[in-house]
């Protein structure tokens, strides 16, 4: 397993739990020694336990140096980052560098498997780079969500394997034989496209929902009822229908941009996808406008309490977090930000990060929920109200119960739902 990020570490630990012998390689010596001691830096339920068990069973080890690690492998998985490069395309330098590093020492018949999300045609390119006919290249995209990566790996909806050498693809599929999941065997290009097509579809679905939420606000409808009514339709499904401050994270933004670029490369103008990306930016701006409205129209000098910074609940990942995107606009417009996230500490430019949710309420003109951590629902909102200067709560995840907020003497506004105004008490 080359690369011990979310994907490589989860895949390595889970394949070891299925009975395989796995060596995880990384260039980061300090990380390799932490992992060898069972210390996992990322917040991923069940992962540290699997790493411990794999090490104890002698089926999982961590080393520096890919060339030595692959010499006796039957399969080598490339799990290195493919970040957004110049102009929005996937940056394949890490994949290419590893391929060049190990190509000549791979044993005969060893499958070279791409787990990293790579544009269509990359398998072919890797095959050329390796320059050997006795090393089949197989695409085996991952569908792991951060925060539930172990559960997703061990209970997958499907396994996808693709190669121009179908026997090699089937063999890689058999590594997952312990799991009860359909295996889709495809040509290399189709397998590579599955990953982008799936992530981009999810992004389209979310932009659509955020647009419908905006319509709800303008038409006086309630998005929670609209999506409930839509979700019972099995063709639509009930998941990925929650509006929010926009979609983010380390995958959806980079994969949508990369697929637009891939489409451009074959002269296809993928307007549906570019609209979804534009809509995501518009959603962020609408959220900022909502927050500005809550503090009387001017953000300059307003004190905003922020609940949640991670790109979604259940993770400490801040990469392409919509919460941070909203905060950076608020900050640029002069707001004074005090933020709390149960999984995030340390310094973040443009805001004060505190380690207690109640501190964000202190003297705040408005409190904004940006990540859907369940614990925010269970705060003592009457105590929050006491601490606040203003009375507005902007709940960009529709997480809180509006009645609880109103009972605390505050006003609630969500996304695509009717506002719940504070009751005016006349004494
Ligand atoms: C995503 C895909 O869901 C995985 O299948 C894929 O393997 C992974 O990318 C990847 O390519 O590695 P992830 O980035 O962990 O997983 O995050 P998601 O759970 O998909 O959430 C993405 C964004 O959509 C988040 O900002 C989240 O808050 C937002 N979202 C999700 C909503 O706003 N509403 C929803 O109903 C669901």
11: domain CATH number is 3.40.50.720
Residue with tokens 């630990």: 13
Burial of 359 (0-12, 13-18, 19+ CB in 10 A): middle
Domain extent for 285: 252-423
43, part of any domain: yes
pTM here is: 0.94
Q: Ligand 1 atom 17: the closest Cα is on which residue? A: 145
Handedness of CA 166, 168, 169, 171 (dihedral sign): positive
Pocket test for ligand 1, best of 248, 249, 317 (most atoms within 8 A of CB): 249
Residues forming a β-bridge with 160: 184
The finding on whether 115 has its CB within 6 A of some atom of ligand 1 is no
Residue 147 lies in a domain: yes
Residue 397 CA, closest ligand 1 atom number: 33
**Cα atoms found within 13 Å of the Cα of residue 21, Cβ hemisphere only:** 6
Instruction: State the Cα–Cα distance between residues 199 and 238, nearest whole angstrom.
Output: 17
Within a domain: 376 = yes
Among the listed residues 200, 251, 327, 331, the single catalytic one is 251
Answer with the residue of higher pLDDT: 112 or 83: 112
Q: Does a structural domain hold residue 48?
A: yes
Domain final residue, candidates 186, 218, 242: 186
Q: Which one, of 294, 311, 312, lies nearest residue 303 by Cα?
A: 294
- Least confident among 13-27, 84-98, 200-214, 271-285: 84-98
What distance in Å separates the CA atoms of residue 427 and residue 424, rounded to the nearest whole number?
A: 10
Give the whole-angstrom CA distance, residue 244 versus residue 302.
23
Q: Quick one: average pLDDT of 4-19?
A: 96
- Structural domain contains residue 228: no
Catalytic residue list contains 327: no
Is it the case that residue 425 has pLDDT exceeding 90? no
Q: Is residue 22 part of a domain?
A: yes
> Do residues 290 and 171 both lie within one domain?
no
Instruction: Return the bridge partners of 337, or none.
Output: 304
298 and 159 belong to one structural domain: no
Is there an atom of ligand 1 within 6 Å of 358 CB?
Answer: no
Residues 177 and 271 placed together within one structural domain of the fold: no
Mean pLDDT of 11-16: 98
DSSP 167-191: HHHHHHHHTTTTS---EEEE-HHHH
The span from the CA of 348 to the CA of 337, in Å, is 11
Distance 354 CA to ligand 1 centre (A): 26
Atom of ligand 1 at shortest range from CA of 143: 7
Q: Is the pLDDT at 427 greater than 70, yes or no? A: no
Do residues 145 and 288 both lie within one domain? no
C-alpha to C-alpha distances, 408 to 222, 361, 364, 379, nearest whole angstrom? 23, 13, 15, 11
392 inside domain: yes
- Structurally, the chain folds into a number of domains equal to 2
Instruction: Please report the pLDDT score of residue 65 as a whole number.
Output: 92
For residue 143, the CA-to-ligand 1 centroid distance in Å is 10
303 and 394 part of one domain: yes
What is the atom index within ligand 1 of the atom nearest the CA of 371? 28
Lowest mean pLDDT among 136-145, 232-241, 343-352, 416-425: 416-425
Residues 146, 268 within the same domain: no
Residue with CA at minimum distance from ligand 1 atom 23: 247
Are 163 and 17 within one domain?
A: yes
Do 168 and 40 reside in the same domain of the chain?
A: yes
pLDDT, tens digit (0-9, with 9 covering 90-100), for 330-379: 999 999 999 999 999 989 999 999 999 999 999 999 999 999 999 999 99
| Residue 230 counted as domain residue | no
C-alpha 202 to ligand 1 mean position (Å) = 8
- Contact present, 276 and 201 (Cβ < 8 Å): no
How many angstroms is it from 146 CA to the middle of ligand 1? 8
Over 70: is that where the pLDDT of 42 sits? Answer: yes
User: How high is the pLDDT of residue 71?
Assistant: 95
- 88 confidence band (pLDDT: 50, 70, 90): confident
For ligand 1, the distance from its centroid to the CA atom of residue 147, given in whole angstroms, is 10
Domain end, chosen from 186, 217, 244, is at: 186
Shared-domain flag, residues 292 and 180: no
Domain termination residue (choose one: 162, 186, 210): 186
């Amino acid at each position: 397993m080359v690369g011990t990020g979310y994907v490589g570490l989860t895949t390595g630990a889970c394949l070891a739990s299925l009975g395989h012998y796995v060596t995880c390689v990384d260039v980061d010596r300090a990380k390799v020694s932490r992992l060898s001691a069972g210390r996992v830096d990322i917040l991923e339920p069940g992962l540290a336990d699997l790493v411990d068990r794999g090490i104890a069973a002698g089926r999982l080890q961590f080393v520096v140096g890919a060339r030595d690690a692959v010499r006796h492998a039957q399969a080598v998985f490339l799990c290195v980052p493919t970040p957004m490069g110049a102009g929005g395309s996937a940056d394949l330098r890490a994949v290419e560098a590893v391929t060049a590093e190990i190509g000549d020492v791979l044993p005969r018949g060893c499958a070279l498997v791409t787990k990293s999300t790579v544009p269509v045609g990359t398998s072919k390119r890797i095959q050329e780079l390796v320059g050997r006919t006795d090393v089949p290249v197989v695409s085996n995209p991952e569908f792991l969500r951060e925060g539930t990566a172990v559960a997703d790996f061990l209970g997958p909806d499907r396994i996808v394997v693709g190669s121009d050498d179908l026997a090699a693809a089937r063999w890689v599929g058999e590594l997952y034989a312990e799991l009860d999941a359909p295996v889709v065997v495809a040509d290399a290009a189709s397998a590579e496209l599955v990953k982008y097509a799936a992530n981009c579809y999810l992004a389209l679905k979310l932009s659509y929902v955020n647009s419908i939420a905006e319509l709800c606000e303008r038409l006086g409808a309630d998005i929670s009822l609209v999506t409930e009514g839509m979700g019972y339709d099995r063709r639509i499904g009930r998941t990925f229908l929650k509006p929010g401050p926009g979609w983010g994270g380390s995958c959806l933004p980079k994969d949508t941009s990369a697929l637009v670029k891939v489409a451009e490369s074959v002269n296809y103008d993928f307007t549906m996808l570019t609209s979804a990306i534009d809509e995501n930016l518009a959603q962020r701006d609408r959220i900022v406008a909502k927050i500005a409205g809550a503090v009387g129209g001017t953000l300059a000098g307003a004190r905003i309490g922020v609940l949640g910074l991670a790109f979604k609940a259940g993770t400490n990942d801040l990469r392409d977090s919509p919460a941070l995107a909203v905060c950076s606009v608020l900050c640029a417009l002069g707001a004074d930000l005090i933020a709390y996230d149960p999984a995030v500490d340390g310094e973040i430019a443009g805001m004060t990060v505190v380690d207690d949710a109640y501190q964000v309420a202190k003297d705040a003109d408005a409190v904004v929920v940006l990540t859907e951590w369940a614990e925010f629902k269970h705060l003592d909102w009457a105590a929050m109200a006491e601490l606040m200067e203003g009375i507005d709560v902007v709940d960009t995840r529709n997480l809180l119960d509006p009645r609880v907020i109103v009972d605390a003497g505050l006003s609630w506004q969500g996304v695509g739902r009717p506002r719940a105004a504070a009751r005016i008490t006349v004494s």
